[in-house]
Amino acid sequence: MSSEDNVQPSIYMHADAVPWVCTRIKRNHRANTSSVLMSFSSLFLLAFCLVGGSVATRATDPSFDTNYEITWGSDHVQSINQGREIQLSMDKSSGSGFGSKFSYGSGFFSLRIKLPDKDSAGIVTAFYLNSHTDKHDELDFEFLGNKQGKPNSLQTNVFANGQGNREQRILLWFDPTANFHTYKILWNQHQIVFFVDTVPIRVFKNKTNIGVNYLSQPMQIVASLWNGESWATDGGKTKIDWSQAPFKAQFQGFNIDGCTSQNSNTQPCYSSSYWWNSEKYGVLDSIQERAYEGVKRKYITYDYCSDRSRYQTPPPECLQ
Ligand SMILES: *[C@@H]1O[C@H](CO)[C@@H](O)[C@H](O)[C@H]1NC(C)=O
């Protein structure tokens, strides 16, 4: 692996380096909690360390069957560890996918994912929410595979009432093929936040007051491994190397923190009795804000908000 070359070497680390680094960082953090000069990379490390405990499967996690079902390519899906882990695979004959049994009107959704660990150019590993309606709402994490040694990109997109074209892409500060990491989507009536472990990488605020559609339809949680070679890697120029098949991605963490919603009225899901709707989750806190600023400064490789060839004036949601 030499993908370090393309990401930040200072905070790129291998799993076996974590315990030592974390002990050191936590100690430093305790010593400096009042210092506002804590470096950005330490913040990142601290976030990484704090979440470290959730990387392993928790004993309390429900099995896959409790909340999810296979929706595509069942002969390419394997259940591991009594359903605590699911492996999707893809070869020339098929990809595969699963979805939640219910749809949700708000929530804080997460999956732990480990991406295909070989030459995966053209392969897309997706974790998303989708209303499957005519003018649909959708929130996407799409991991775009790459040649061995080149980093995967993480693309996110937001569709509200059928309108998408809001792609953003980042590079990650770790190798997502080496270990499980937690990818999360917070959705309440105030904001949508995409997280990588504890780090916010994208925020989409409810700006209905300035005429921007906001997501309001019940959505299903979906994950899949599919053929995106027409667009995903180098704009579609780098194709899938089928000699590397089958491609495999693993998923864990099948607990769902969400408000189930069977009909189009999601109003009951805005109730403040759901913890993810509370004031605390209405805005980023100061630590999250700084980590988010760091992502915007160092890791974003594409942002529709600053693509002037596409939008001569940025769409209204891009303005502060
Ligand atoms: C967006 O925010 C407005 C004003 O705060 C609120 O009335 C509305 O319900 C929110 N919309 C959605 C779809 O959550």
Residues 169, 114 share a domain:
yes
Evaluate whether residue 44 is within a structural domain. Answer: yes
In this structure, are 283 and 160 located in the same domain?
A: yes
138 counts as catalytic: yes
One domain, residues 78 and 151: yes
Tell me: do 32 and 151 sit in the same domain: no
* CATH number assigned to the domain comprising residue 96: 2.60.120.200
Domain that holds residue 28: 3-55
Q: Is the CB of 271 under 6 A from ligand 1?
A: no
- Among 38-47, 86-95, 245-254, the minimum mean pLDDT is found in 38-47
How many structural domains is the chain composed of? 2
* pLDDT band, very low/low/confident/very high, at 265 (cuts 50, 70, 90): confident
Same domain, 93 and 115: yes
| The token pair that represents 184 in the structure block | 């999360």
Q: pTM of the prediction? A: 0.83
Nearest protein Cα to ligand 1, atom 9: 189
118-171 confidence digits (pLDDT tens): 899 999 999 999 999 999 999 999 999 999 999 999 999 999 999 999 999 999
Q: Lowest mean pLDDT: which of 8-22, 202-216, 241-255, 291-305? A: 8-22
Asked if residue 90 and residue 19 are part of one domain, the reply reads: no
Please, which pLDDT band fits residue 311 given cuts at 50, 70 and 90?
very high
Closest by Cα among 156, 148, 267 to 218: 267
Q: Is the pLDDT of residue 18 over 70?
A: no
Say yes or no: 49 and 145 in one domain. Answer: no
Last residue of a domain, which of 28, 55, 82? 55
Which tokens hold the place of 7?
A: 């990401």
- Residues 217, 239 within the same domain: yes
Each residue's pLDDT tens digit, 289-302: 999 999 999 999 99
The answer to whether residue 15 scores a pLDDT higher than 70 is: no
Pocket flag, ligand 1, residue 191 (CB < 6 Å): no
Average pLDDT in the 58-80 region? Answer: 93
* Contact 188 CB / ligand 1 (< 6 Å): no
Same domain, 154 and 200: yes
Q: What's the CA gap between 64 and 84, in Å, rounded? A: 6
Same domain, 31 and 158: no
DSSP string covering 48-105, please?
Answer: HHHHHHHHSPPTTPPPHHHHEEEEE-GGGEEEETTTTEEEEEEBTTB-EEEEEEEEEE
Whether residues 136 and 29 share a domain: the answer is no
